[in-house]
């Protein structure tokens, strides 16, 4: 069946690890009749956590698309990970969802994982509902949870329900929207509808009036009707709440015990009746600054938001249809690389189960196989269209490790495996650092990288070891030096001869020409690794023929690529060649290259050389309780505190920290803050390392060189 845009709902489940997202998703599927038996996380048989690694760990790692039908409408559901290490899975699901369902744990209140995820909900401007789950727990505290939610999420929480008897005997929910009390049987499922007891009517009516006012506030006609009658009909109430939710003016809150199947049916009904369809959301932003309306009558445009590599199947591409209707056999063109892709098969997914369909209309979620040149974050259109959906803003990496296999023969296989996994998770980056002679893996956190290591072993049969990445130091000089070097080699027949007189100086923009020298030609080059080389030819009288200038410059660049102090790249140096000698027979390019390498090296050691290290701007958000420990840890990392302040209920610390001190910081911060902190980092500058550290680095390089 092909569903109309108005009959589609796309919902993403978000929350801290352990809040019950997977269990609620399972219960929602069961209530809708999509599955005949509810699985459980403990029994490792849920629809969403179907991979071996998820079942082994008992946690959601991959965002799983699921779908069901509810009263003629199609509800697409995404179950997502709670751990911040897998944030890429969350943001890709949020990108294509029209409602965020934020789960709160009744026994723990608002937890840090939910707070961190909320920032992405706001970034995507996604309408939201809240669900207080686990009301059957002996320590469940509904009122405190709602109070915390209002404090943390902007005071727009709009309770629709409250539990009459939270705790181990929980089985009753008072619904203020419908002014009905639901009493559930011991095994959950369909509740008995009863009148609200007299003792609860005043509380329920107060909540009902708040809901009516919230619905009326967002529409002038409803407001007039409300003033005229003092209330709203059920249809008016549903319409007004739909507008309020779509505008993010209110966040309705529900109650449930997902594990006991109490309350999930009512949540499904509200999503179906009130939450916005894709066509009722704001138009999708495009790369060129324009927008795209979700219109099934337009030409097809789809956006690939997720790729998953499945054994014996290959790459599965999950996509959202942003406009038009996609049908089996259609051919679309990739807006980025202009290649054509034929959609020979279309599916809708319920975890690992895929059901073939004939087509999908604007707003719907589907998947296909065997796309050759199309990947996550790419848009495909009908031929002739050039629309390009604004890509998912995946967060920058916060952690890196060097990787290597036990045997060099396995390196090619390892790199292939890592690139395959990175294709699924765009928050992972694999890069060979030529200057460091290491292959680096960048990611969000230690847990994510450890799971990559596990997958490389289980899926690709390659063992992988992590080691500390080398630091991309830079070398430069701080004063002028003049040196010469004569290269002379005779071994019968033609020999080698070259003499080079060289001056080196620190380079900066706008500096005057070298004193006492006549500049004949000048090259100022941007170096591949950053910084500049200024190469001046100052030979007067032809003591060295100009045809050897390129060889001399090549020798300088060769030594700058592997600097004299630590083998690191050199930068921001001006080299002036002002004298030398050549031989009519024995001088050649190789001789002048050797002479320039040695002249540069001799000069460098006398020009007060300086090692530079990369410095990062680090921003940390943490709770008041752990701020002292976070600050204390930063001080052990040679950090310079640039400022402090508040951001919402977080304390914000801004610091500049050397990259050499950031190794495994993600794990350390998580440990000292009990998970109640997060950080981001961006490259700031290169700065001089302290004298003692410079001595140690030079000595370490010398020892390594001697070995």
Facing residues of 107 across strands? none
Pairing of strands 532-537, 640-647: unpaired
Pairing of strands 128-133, 251-255: parallel
Q: What is the pLDDT of residues 584-600, one digit of tens each?
A: 889 999 999 999 999 99
Could you tell me which of 401, 484, 489, 498 has the C-alpha nearest to residue 441? 401
pLDDT over threshold 60, residue 707? no
Residues 20 and 169 in one domain: yes
- Average pLDDT (687-691) is 96
The domain tally of the chain equals: 5
Residues 6+ apart with CB under 8 A from 1: 357
Output 343-351 pairs: Cβ under 8 A, ≥24 positions apart.
Answer: 343/368, 344/368, 344/370, 345/369, 345/370, 348/67, 349/64, 349/65, 349/66, 349/67, 349/318, 350/29, 350/34, 350/35, 350/47, 350/66, 350/67, 350/68, 351/46, 351/47, 351/48, 351/50, 351/64, 351/66
pLDDT over threshold 70, residue 706? no
Residues 88 and 175 in one domain: yes
What integer pLDDT is reported at residue 196 of this predicted model? 96
Residues 166 and 43 in one domain: yes
Flag whether 174 is in a domain: yes
Q: What is the CATH number of the domain that holds 482?
A: 3.30.230.10
Rounded CA gap, 78 and 543, in Å?
A: 75
Q: List strand residue ranges (DSSP E) for 172-222, in order.
A: 172-175, 180-183, 192-194
- What 3-state class would DSSP assign to 159? strand
Residues of the domain holding 165: 5-192+249-280
CA 17 to chain centre: 18
Cα pseudo-dihedral 620, 623, 625, 626, rounded to 10: -20
Facing residues of 327 across strands? 359
Residues 510 and 635 in one domain: no
φ/ψ (deg, to 5) at 126: -90, 130
pLDDT bucket at 383, cuts 50 / 70 / 90: very high
Q: List strand residue ranges (DSSP E) for 248-294, in order.
A: 251-255, 284-285, 291-292
Tokens matching residue 578:
């002002």
Task: Classify residue 260 by its DSSP letter.
Answer: G
Residues 371 and 512 in one domain: no
Flag whether 699 is in a domain: no
Flag whether 224 is in a domain: no
Residues 263 and 290 in one domain: no
Specify the DSSP element, H or E, that contains 144. helix 142-152
CB-side exposure of 356: number of CA atoms within 13 Å?
A: 7
Q: What is the pLDDT of residues 70-106, one digit of tens each?
A: 999 999 999 999 988 999 999 999 999 999 999 999 9
φ/ψ (deg, to 5) at 252: -60, 145
pLDDT over threshold 80, residue 649? no
Model's pTM, two decimal places?
Answer: 0.86
């Amino acid at each position: 069946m092909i569903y109309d845009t108005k009959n589609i709902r796309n919902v993403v489940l978000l929350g801290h690890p352990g809040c019950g997202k997977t269990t609620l998703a399972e219960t929602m599927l069961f209530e809708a009749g999509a599955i005949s038996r509810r699985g459980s996380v403990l029994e490792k048989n849920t629809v969403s956590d179907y991979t071996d690694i998820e079942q082994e760990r008992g946690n959601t790692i991959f965002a799983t698309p699921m779908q069901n039908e509810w009263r003629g409408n199609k509800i697409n559901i995404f179950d997502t990970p709670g751990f911040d290490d897998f944030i890429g899975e969350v943001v890709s699901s949020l990108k294509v969802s029209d409602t965020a369902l934020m789960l709160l744990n009744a026994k723990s209140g608002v937890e840090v994982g939910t707070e961190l995820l909320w920032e992405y909900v706001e970034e995507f401007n996604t309408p939201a509902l809240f669900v207080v789950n686990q009301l059957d727990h002996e320590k469940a505290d509904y009122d405190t949870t709602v109070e915390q939610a209002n404090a943390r999420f902007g005071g727009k929480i709009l309770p629709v329900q409250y539990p009459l008897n939270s705790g181990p005997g929980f089985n009753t929910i008072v619904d203020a929207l419908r002014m009905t009390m639901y009493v559930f049987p011991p095994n959950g499922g369909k509740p008995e509808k009863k009148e609200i007891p007299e003792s609860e009517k005043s509380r329920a009516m107060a909540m009902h009036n708040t809901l009516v006012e919230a619905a009326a506030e967002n529409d002038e006609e409803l407001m007039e009707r409300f003033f005229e009658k003092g209330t709203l009909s059920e249809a008016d109430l549903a319409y007004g709440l739909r507008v309020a939710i779509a505008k993010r003016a209110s966040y309705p809150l529900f109650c449930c015990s997902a594990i006991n199947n109490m309350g999930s049916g009512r949540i499904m009904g509200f999503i179906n009746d009130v939450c916005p369809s894709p066509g009722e959301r704001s138009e999708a932003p495009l790369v060129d600054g324009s927008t795209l309306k979700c219109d099934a009558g337009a030409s097809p445009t789809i956006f690939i938001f997720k790729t998953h590599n499945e054994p014996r199947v290959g790459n599965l591409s999950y996509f959202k249809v942003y406009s038009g209707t996609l049908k089996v056999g259609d051919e679309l063109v990739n807006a980025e690389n202009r290649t054509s892709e034929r959609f020979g098969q279309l599916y809708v997914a319920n975890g690992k189960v895929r059901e073939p369909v004939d087509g999908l209309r604007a707003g719907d979620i589907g998947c296909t196989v065997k796309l050759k040149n199309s990947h996550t974050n790419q848009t495909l259109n009908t031929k002739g269209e050039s629309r390009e959906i604004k890509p998912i803003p995946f967060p920058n990496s916060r952690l890196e490790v060097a990787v290597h296999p036990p045997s060099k023969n396995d390196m090619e296989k390892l790199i292939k495996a890592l690139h395959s996994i990175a294709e699924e998770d765009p928050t992972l980056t694999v890069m060979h650092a030529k200057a460091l002679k290491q292959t680096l893996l960048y990611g969000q956190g230690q847990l994510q990288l450890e799971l990559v290591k596990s997958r490389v072993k289980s899926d690709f049969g390659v063992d992988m070891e992590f080691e500390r990445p080398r630091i991309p130091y830079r070398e430069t000089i701080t004063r002028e030096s003049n040196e010469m070097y004569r290269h002379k080699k005779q071994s019968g027949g033609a020999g080698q001869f070259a003499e080079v007189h060289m001056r080196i100086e620190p380079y900066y923009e706008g500096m005057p020409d070298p004193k006492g020298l006549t500049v004949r030609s000048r090259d100022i080059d941007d170096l591949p690794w950053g910084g500049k080389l200024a190469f001046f030819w100052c030979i007067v009288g032809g003591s060295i023929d100009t045809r050897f200038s390129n060889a001399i410059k090549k020798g300088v660049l060769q030594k700058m690529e592997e600097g004299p102090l630590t083998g690191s790249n050199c930068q921001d140096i001006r080299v002036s060649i002002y004298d030398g000698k050549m031989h009519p027979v024995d001088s050649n390019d190789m001789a002048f290259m050797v002479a320039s390498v040695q002249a540069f090296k001799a000069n460098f050691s006398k020009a007060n050389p300086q090692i530079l290290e990369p410095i990062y701007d680090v921003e940390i958000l943490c709770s008041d309780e752990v701020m002292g420990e976070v600050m204390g840890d930063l001080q052990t990392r040679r950090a310079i505190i640039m400022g402090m302040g508040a951001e919402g209920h977080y304390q914000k610390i801004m610091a500049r920290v050397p990259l050499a001190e950031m190794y495994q910081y993600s794990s350390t911060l998580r440990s000292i803050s009990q998970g109640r902190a997060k950080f981001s980092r961006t490259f700031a500058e290169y700065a001089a390392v302290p004298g003692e550290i410079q001595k140690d680095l030079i000595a370490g390089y010398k020892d390594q060189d001697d070995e």
